[in-house]
Amino acid sequence: MLPSHIEDFARSFLCDNRLAALACEAGEVISSEDIIDLAAQVQGFYFALHLHCQGLNEIRQYRKLWLEAARFFESACGIWAEVPADGELLVYHRALLVHLHEVCADRVQLYSISAADRLVYRAAKEEKHCVD
C-alpha cells in the first residue's frame, strides 16, 4: 500500500532506531544531535503519510495505510521497550513514538466503518433529506 520511497524511509528509520537502542544497551551515550535526528525522522515519516493520504480515494485505502503506519510505530516502540531511558531527549523520542502509534491506531478505528454503521448513516441521511 505504501509507496516504495515511504517504505524505504520506514525501514531506514527502524534500522537507525535499532542501532541507537543497541548503543544504549551497550552503555554508550547517544548524542543529543542523534536523538533529535531520530525524532525528526519519525515526524518526517508521519508527515509523508499525511501527504500520501491526499492522493487516496477510498476509505479502505486510508484504513490500510494507517494500519501499516500503526504497525511501523508499534515496531519502533518495541525497539525501545527494554532500553533504559537515558536523558530527557530520549524520553521525549520514546513518548513521540508511543503518541504517533496511538494516533495511527485511532485513525484505523476512524476508517473502520462496518456495514451496519453505513446503513445507520444512510437511513439517517435519507430521513433528514425527507424532512427538509
8 A C-beta contact, residue 1 and residue 58 = no
Q: Please check the confidence at residue 17 and state whether its pLDDT lies above 90.
A: yes
Please state the domain extents for the chain: 4-131
Question: What's the pLDDT tens digit per position in 76-106?
Answer: 999 999 888 778 999 999 999 999 999 999 9
Task: Please list, in sequence order, all residues whose beta carbon lies within 8 angstroms of the beta carbon of residue 63, skipping any fewer than 6 positions away.
Answer: 108, 111, 112
pTM score, whole prediction: 0.81
| Nine cell digits for residue 26 | 551497550
57-82 mean pLDDT: 92
